[in-house]
Structure 1
Amino acid sequence: MGEKQLSSAEAELYDRQIRLWGIESQEKLRAANVLLIGIRGLGSEIAKNILLSGINSLTILDDGLITEDDLLHNFLLTESTAVGKKIAEEVLARAQALNPLVKIITDTESVTAKSPEFFHNFTIVVATKIKVDSIIKIDNICRERNVKFIYGDVFGLFGFSVADFQEHDYFEDRIQLTAGRKRGHDGEKKTVKVKGNISYPSLNKVLILPNTKQDTVFVKKLARPSNLFACLLTLLEFKKQHHRDPDYEKKNEDIEKLKIIAADIIELYNFTNLNMDSLYELLFGELIPVCAIVGGVMAQEVIKAVSHKEVTINNIFLFDPITYSGKELTVGA
């Protein structure tokens, strides 16, 4: 996809970020067409940040209807929005107001109804609130045409993202000293571009759940079992089995279901000495502050992946609900 030269209006609007990451990176962003699947609490935060970055187009795909919770959690909806309307259409006005220079398309069809060719039209696909079967399927489709893919979700105080940017080249600015010293002075400092590469595994080697035939050998290479990674897998399996997120109104019942699934995950991966008891109470709802944090991280990864500027996370980001800190984890590589 060819890069587009910035108009004078774009150069003025994006002046501060051009100073931050350079005109070449901004032109790459200007050429990017992004698909965002899911425009709930997390999706709205991702949309805000990537719209402000100055991409070419954003397609919002969500076949869902607005609920009472959406009116509380989604700042792209207005107070006058009615429950039961199509959420993708109702967020359009406020989303467009964030950046009138970005083309926004809304699509209310189900993600499962889309053909492989639909996903091939994008530079990067960003997904939220879908089940693991769809995650793996879309990732495989994206790999056919070198379309980058990142998925994320929020469950209460816990949030995460997992990326497949395939063979990703990037440039990183580094400060170097020129050779030689004269009269006790160090050499002059200069900024140089250093090229790097990260090879991402496909997500069917990363997100392996019980009752599948995938080999867990890549995941078992983890230097140390992670409570948060086990929690991620447990929640994906819960959604797969029950076709929903854990429900606060069924809290005690759902915690027991989570414990049973977690035991299967721990056995599958041979994650000995893991104890997730402190996490179960924290996995209910879609909390706005956590959506803001995870959405900011995911949008930042989209910007880095599209612009090829600075090092991307390889390949999992985890927001710890106990310490309120972010952690990076490499799985399957």
Structure 2
Amino acid sequence: AGGAGAAAGGDGASAAAIDEATLYDRQLRVWGHEAQRRMRDSRVLIAGVDATLAEVAKNLVLGGIPVTLQDTADVEASDVGANIMLRTGDEGSNRAAAALPRLQELNGFLALDALEAPLLELKDDEWRRFRVVVASASRLTAEQQFALDELCRAKGVALYIVYSFGFHAVFLVDLIEHTWIRADEHMRPIKDKDGADIPDSLTYPTMRDAVGASWSHLRRGGKDVKETLFVQQTLFQFEMSHGRPATSDDADEVVDLARSLSKGRGLTKDDWVDGSQLRDMVGMSGVELSAVASVMGGTLGQEVVKVITGRAKPVHNAFAFDGMSLRGSAFRLGV
């Protein structure tokens, strides 16, 4: 009986392995079994189940990366429109708990879970589970973002913080110290003349250093979307000085702050976004649109895969997307 039971268990394990190989067939062909194993053995904390982070979670789970959803807020009617993981009828339920069953449906091979405790109050045994944290700025004050970065650095955890305002979005990155293998656009390793992988590495500034850095190397022109990054940085500075996010009523003050910051950080008048555009973007602070969330979710998902697999150069250390022009650009702040 024992032998029969062992055989049955072995057949089940083999069948599961075959099904898993079929599920991930295309990506296994691209980056191989070792990279897929790293993805399966890592876990990403999705901190704040808003529209963009729901897209990130979807992409990671479909790719074979386990995630934990964390949120202290309950679902409101306004959450349902742009968030692919929330439905009418979820109102009043915790956002992480409501999204979890729908996320699990996407990949039955992964163990997913949800946390309702405050992010900065998670215990050490929880933090030891995570390789990467992707956090929504909408659930964190400026000082809490700095505190989260310091905590992630102490734990050796990579951190992405996402900012959304209507047609525009930004994410900032702190990978602390990161080493990767150079790869082509398909994430296949590039070899040297002897057939060996080519390693490279990057050092990242803290979030506090990044948001306080000079902008003198950021110049308008080309296909960059620096204006989006400038506005995000200005809104961040406003919140730091006022202890609250800016609203439409603060638009004139934000414009004055933007002009002061641009001058103090090495920009000229011609480098800066015009006041009318800035006022429009301030009015959309914290607003998410499903199309922008989808683009940012795909970009962030790809960046997390790069970090976990150690393939290809990651963003170092900011990315901005302009949904009006359909352009996105990576930037370096404080590096």
| Offset of residue 11 of structure 1 | 1.9
Match for residue 254 of structure 2?
258
CA contact (8 A) 2:163 2:232 kept: no
Deviations 1:91-123 (A, max 9, x none): 111111111222111111222433566434311
Structure 1 Cα separation of the partners of residues 190 and 106 of structure 2: 38
What is the aligned partner in structure 1 of residue 309 from structure 2?
307
Correspondence 1:97-136 to 2 at 5 A = 97-115=105-123, 118-128=126-136, 129=138, 130-136=140-146
1:156-171, aligned counterparts within 5 Å? 156-171=166-181
Corresponding residue number in structure 1 for 2:219:
224
- Cα distance in 1 for partners of 2:122, 2:190 equals 49
Which of the residues 143, 151, 158 maps onto 1:141? 151
Asked if the contact 2:77–2:88 (Cα under 8 Å) also holds between the matched residues in 1, the reply is no
Q: 2:75 aligns with which of 66, 70, 76?
A: 66
Question: Which residue is equivalent to 2:267?
Answer: 271
C-alpha separation in 1, matches of 2:190 and 2:54: 40
Counterpart of 2:86 (choices 77, 80, 85) is 77
- Match of 1:222, as an amino acid? H
d(CA) in 1 for partners of 2:68, 2:162: 17
Which segments of 5 or more consecutive residues in structure 2 lack a partner in the other structure?
Answer: 1-15, 221-225
Q: CA deviation at 1:145?
A: 2.9
Q: Gaps (5+ residues) in structure 1? A: 1-5, 180-189, 209-215
Deviations 1:146-185 (A, max 9, x none): 2111111211111011111122111124698999xxxxxx
Distance 1:61 1:196 in 2: 33
Distance 2:51 2:83 in 1: 5
Give the Cα separation in 2 of the matches to 1:122 and 1:159.
25
One-letter amino acid of the structure 2 residue matched with residue 281 of structure 1: D
Count of residue correspondences: 302
Q: Which residue of 2 aligns with 1:326?
A: 328
Provide closer, same or farther for how the CA distance between residues 260 and 84 of structure 1 changes in structure 2, counting only shifts above 3 A: farther
Deviations 1:75-94 (A, max 9, x none): 1112332x222111111111
Residue in structure 1 matched with residue 3 of structure 2 by the alignment: none
Aligned to 1:281: 280
Higher relative helix content:
2
Equivalent pair of 1:152/1:298 in contact (CA under 8 Å): no
Contact 1:230 1:265 in 2 (8 A): no
What TM-score do you get using the length of structure 2 for normalisation? 0.81
State the partner residue of 1:204: 208
Change (3 A) 1:331 1:243: same
CA distance in 2, matches of 1:192, 1:155: 44
Whole-Å separation in 2 of the counterparts to 1:61 and 1:244:
22
Residue aligned with 2:105, SS: helix
Report the Cα distance in structure 2 between the residues aligned to 1:316 and 1:296, rounded to whole angstroms.
Answer: 15
| TM-score, normalised by the number of residues in structure 1 | 0.82
Q: Establish whether residue 26 from structure 1 lines up as the match of residue 21 from structure 2.
A: no
Provide the residue aligned with 1:95 in structure 2: 103
When the two chains are superposed, the root-mean-square deviation of aligned CA atoms in Å is: 2.6
State the Cα deviation string for residues 223-258 of structure 1 (Å, max 9, x = none). Answer: 537433321112223445363464xxxx4x142343
